[in-house]
Structure 1
Amino acid sequence: MSRIIFEVFAVVCLLKTTFACMCMPAHSQTHLCGKNVYASLVKVRSMEYVYLAEKPKYKLTDTNDVSKNDDFKEKSEISSGLMGNVKKSLKKPEMERVEVVVKDLDNLSDKHLVASHIRYRVKVYETYKGLKPEETQGKKMYIYTAPDEGMCGIKLNTKEMYLLIGDIDGDRLNIGLCDRVIRWNNLDSKQKRVIRRNMRNAKQTCASSCEIQTCTWSICGKPDKDSCMWTSEMEMTSLKLNIHPANYACTREPGKQDAKCTWNNALTNTKRRRRRRRHHSTSRAESQLREIVHLLP
């Protein structure tokens, strides 16, 4: 009986470790239009493990008079417990968050001190939402993630550029597996231009109140006028053709708030205009783009 209990416990622990990070697939626009979100084009400078802790905002020394300190007001309470002791409780001081850099994680002698986060120092080249340009210029910027993938942490390569869409927690920028991480160097110049345009128009796109419905089934219904459908087939086709989903934005016709929400892809439109203007035959890139376009509901 004990062996069965042990085996069940081992399976539960394994499942907990394996499926600790689970999130529903979503389009980049869904992340972009969420609350407490930032979107920035950054280059990773360095990476280090850190342990986040809290400490009082000021240091209490021997010369401090605790009884005169507003943050430490001493109260005496007579306890009716078994020992009948006098309990003295202090008002909890205002705390601030500090970061301890873990330099040698593998050979760490104090095993209770573990890295709670990975901290990436980044240079912000462009910010589209959540941050103001003056908040990033000439300042050290850090982005945090969990230390392993089981906790939704994500690995970023140093000296590489990324377009990150993550969440803001107080004064801290976070990124994870459930957020959007676009490897900038993997995109061609046309995709970079289109995605930059979509990011710069994020305010207008989110104001259109168009919702993106993600369908992972083989058969998906038709979306209503206030939404667009993004299917697993469209996702797989875009990945196969190396065309990032962020090229597509679900918007309404400008100036018409009651208009139907439709997919807008400037990358496809640009190629089609160029084809008509130059009277060239259909190129391989155009054929690939239409493989996704014909899937758009």
Structure 2
Amino acid sequence: MDTLLWTVPFLLAICLLDSPADACSCAPAHPQQAFCTSDLAFRARVLSRNLEDNPKTQLYATPLKIARYDLEDVKIIKGADKVPILKHVYSPPSDFMCGVELMEDTEYLLTGRLNGDKVHIGLCDLVRPWAELIAPQQQNLLKYYQLGCSCRIMTCFSLPCSVFADDECLWTDLVRNEHKDGYQARNFACLPQPHLPTLCSWHHGLAPAPGETEDDYDEYDYEERPEPLRARARPDFYPPGTKYNRLVI
């Protein structure tokens, strides 16, 4: 049982392993949720991949393998106090076991979990090539997600859906027939409002933070926002290029 615990991020993964044909699947999550529930978040370039025996299965007749990825250019965004030096990460060797495969000589944004003194990543963690992230999401990862971990993101799976508390933001990408990397996931973080920390709302990754000005971000061509769902909106400070923040559908 111990060997399975580290393969499943807390509250985000559901592994369906009833038959050999089944694979690991993950509950849809906004990137901020994956960030906030992880022990670590970091940028790193992958040097190499090696398979080695999983020490937790050494007593098995045939020990299971685990993939070790050697890293360089590591920049820890969250969790530097837990792992001041990070040179390796570990993952199950296949997606059947909730593992991920990283490409060598590629820089990634990764979230992971501590298991003893080792960092493990899995299919349900945030695993993205850094070059594929648009500017707002890079800014959210580097700056804003960690400021919003006291907020709650509520996933809308079907209509009607709503938020019920001031610290909630409604995530509607899935009901727009988009996948989990939809418009809100790519562009927004759910943050406490500066003047009222108990009230959370969506914040565009390139919108000025308190103390900053529009001039800091005026060179970015904002991604076009989909048409808003029919909704009643509570007045707030919804960021540039958007119309609604707290949808009640």
- Work out whether the TM-score is over 0.5: yes
Render the CA deviation track for 1:214-269: whole Å, top value 9, x for unaligned: 222243223421111112136827846xx6725421111125333x2101113366
* Aligned residue among 103, 108, 125 for 1:162: 108
The AA in structure 2 aligned to 1:253 is Q
* Aligned residue among 44, 53, 65 for 1:116: 65
Residues 233, 118 of structure 1: CA spacing in aligned structure 2 closer, same or farther, 3 A cutoff? same
Residues 142, 38 of structure 1: CA spacing in aligned structure 2 closer, same or farther, 3 A cutoff? same
Residues 151, 14 of structure 1: CA spacing in aligned structure 2 closer, same or farther, 3 A cutoff? closer
* Aligned residue among 27, 30, 48 for 1:27: 30
Contact 1:212 1:227 in 2 (8 A): yes
Identify the structure with the greater helix proportion.
1
**1:185-264 correspondence to structure 2 within 5 Å:** 185-189=131-135, 191-198=137-144, 202=146, 204-206=147-149, 209-231=150-172, 232-233=174-175, 236=178, 239=181, 245=185, 247-254=187-194, 256-258=196-198, 260-264=199-203
Q: Taking CA–CA contacts closer than 8 Å with sequence separation of 6 or more, which of the two structures ends up with the larger relative contact order? A: 1
Distance 2:36 2:73 in 1: 20
Please report the TM-score for the alignment, with normalisation by the length of structure 2: 0.69
Partner of 1:50: 52
Contact 1:195 1:247 in 2 (8 A): no
For residue 189 of structure 1, report the CA deviation from its aligned partner: 4.7
Count of aligned pairs between the two proteins? 211
Partner of 1:10: none
Residues 161, 19 of structure 1: CA spacing in aligned structure 2 closer, same or farther, 3 A cutoff? same
Distance 2:109 2:227 in 1: 25
Partner of 1:37: 39
Contact 2:136 2:186 in 1 (8 A): no
**1:95-134 correspondence to structure 2 within 5 Å:** 113-132=62-81
- Unaligned regions of 5+ residues in structure 1, if any? 1-12, 55-96, 99-111
* Aligned residue among 267, 276, 290 for 2:206: 267
Distance 1:213 1:273 in 2: 29
Render the CA deviation track for 1:79-135: whole Å, top value 9, x for unaligned: xxxxxxxxxxxxxxxxxx99xxxxxxxxxxxxx545421110112431121224982
Partner of 2:236: none
Does 2:96 match 1:150?
A: yes
The AA in structure 2 aligned to 1:205 is G
Q: What is the alpha-carbon root mean square deviation over aligned residues? A: 3.6
Residues 235, 162 of structure 1: CA spacing in aligned structure 2 closer, same or farther, 3 A cutoff? farther
Partner of 1:83: none
Partner of 2:6: none
SS at structure 1 position matched to 2:42: strand
Partner of 1:173: 119
The AA in structure 2 aligned to 1:29 is Q
Partner of 2:12: none
Render the CA deviation track for 1:3-28: whole Å, top value 9, x for unaligned: xxxxxxxxxx9952333413211112
Contact 2:17 2:23 in 1 (8 A): no
Contact 1:210 1:261 in 2 (8 A): yes
Residues 22, 193 of structure 1: CA spacing in aligned structure 2 closer, same or farther, 3 A cutoff? closer
SS at structure 2 position matched to 1:236: coil
Contact 2:45 2:105 in 1 (8 A): yes
SS at structure 2 position matched to 1:48: strand
Please report the TM-score for the alignment, with normalisation by the length of structure 1: 0.59
Larger Rg: 1
Determine what percentage of the aligned residue pairs are the same residue.
27
The AA in structure 2 aligned to 1:212 is I
